[in-house]
Amino acid sequence: MIKFLDLQKINAQYAAELKQVAADVIDSGWFLMGSQLENFEKQFAAFHNVKHAIGVANGLDALRLILKAYIDLGVMQEGDEVIVPANTYIASLLAISDNRLVPVLVEPNEKSFNLDIDLIEKHITTKTKAIMVVHLYGQICWSEQLVELAKKYNLKIIEDNAQAIGAVWNGIKSGSLGDAAGFSFYPGKNLGALGDAGAVTTNDDALATQIRTLGNYGSKQKYVNEFKGLNSRLDEIQAGFLSVKLKYIDAENQCRRQSAERYLSEIKNPLVELPFPINTSCQVSDNNEHVWHLFVIRTKNRQALQNYLADNEIQTLIHYPTPPNKQLAYSELNHLNYPLTNAIHDEVVSLPISSITTEEEVTKIIKMLNSYSN
Ligand SMILES: *Cc1c(COP(=O)(O)O)cnc(C)c1O
């Protein structure tokens, strides 16, 4: 059986180092806001060439805290609008609506699966305060045009970088392109903790201070609470694990790229539409280094293809089966219709890809896809 993702095997590569970190933290008797977190934040900021990295409890909190901090700083207020791709994972929207801001959904580009930057301007109103770009499946969503738009309308650009750690656009890493970025270290992400964890990166001093304060009960000084904050901290043990795994992220992403390149060049079946790694202005892109969090194909009869692959011992998943605006949780958005988003959700299938996917597995997956017919 080729598993979609084998977390046991991925982490086994680093077992000795991870166990040492666990032992160090246990022996230290210090579990929150200590030297492991401080080290990780330093390394993470350096990796992204940004001034601030702030560890938080998870990726959703990273995004929630960015917006909450902007509200406290007077940059936006309740009822303001944030532009976000209609086909993102629901967490992007939850971060917006949790702050009583309004998510304004925009269709993706059909080729990149990322927010269609050409469609943004017509959705901008006097209430628009930010664009949340989501680097979906590991591919950066960015362009000069996006930067110009943000300048023209005085909008913040927030990166949902849960899926694209280590991706590079014109020599600049994802997570350092916008005003602030949220990261998830959910175990299945490219940089996965052994539990929940997340981070924010930014070059904005005031924003960084506010996020740190909000993540710690709204308090800079113990028992002195200036803001209604949250408890959203990155545990010492997870920070230690992440420091170990951060050393290997570029090598892991390179392994993913090797599998993706083979999928792209060797899968040849008219029933299977391959992802087209491009930038959003529809140019084939050398300057947009994908990190292939997911390798997503499209096919008309998805269930048949998934069944066929399962019968041949290849596990696949769907990212994602239902668009956020069709979820019960967003009943206020249920009436909206995004045809391309709907089509994507009906047709996508994610193939196994990870840092430990072997040549033989890739070969078998390609062979099985090429002999698929229905
Ligand atoms: C995983 C993910 C999140 C949320 O991260 P958690 O750590 O699970 O809270 C947010 N946005 C996107 C696009 C994600 O893939």
Asked if residues 96 and 88 have their Cβ atoms less than 8 Å apart, the reply is no
SS (H, E, C) 29-43: CCCECCHHHHHHHHH
Evaluate if residue 25 carries a pLDDT over 70. yes
Q: Does 198 score more than 80 pLDDT?
A: yes
- Distances in Å between the Cα of 153 and the Cα atoms of 24, 66, 93, 211 are 49, 19, 21, 24
CA-CA distances (angstroms) from residue 104 to 86, 107, 125? 8, 10, 10
Task: State in Å: Cα 84 to ligand 1 middle.
Answer: 14
The pocket around ligand 1, CB under 6 angstroms, is made up of: 58-60, 88-89, 91-92, 134, 160, 162-163, 184, 186, 196, 198
pLDDT in tens, 253-282: 999 999 999 999 999 999 999 998 764 333
Q: What tens digit of pLDDT does each residue of 128-178 get? A: 999 999 999 999 999 999 999 999 999 999 999 999 999 999 999 999 999
Helices 35-48/15-28 angle, 10° precision: 140
Reported as a single tens digit per residue, the pLDDT across 308-347 is 999 999 999 999 999 999 999 999 999 999 999 999 999 9
**pTM metric for this prediction:** 0.97
State which of 66, 186, 242, 350 you would mutate to test the pocket of ligand 1, scoring each by most atoms of that ligand within 8 A of its C-beta.
Answer: 186
Is the pLDDT confidence value at 374 over 90?
A: no
pLDDT at 284: 43
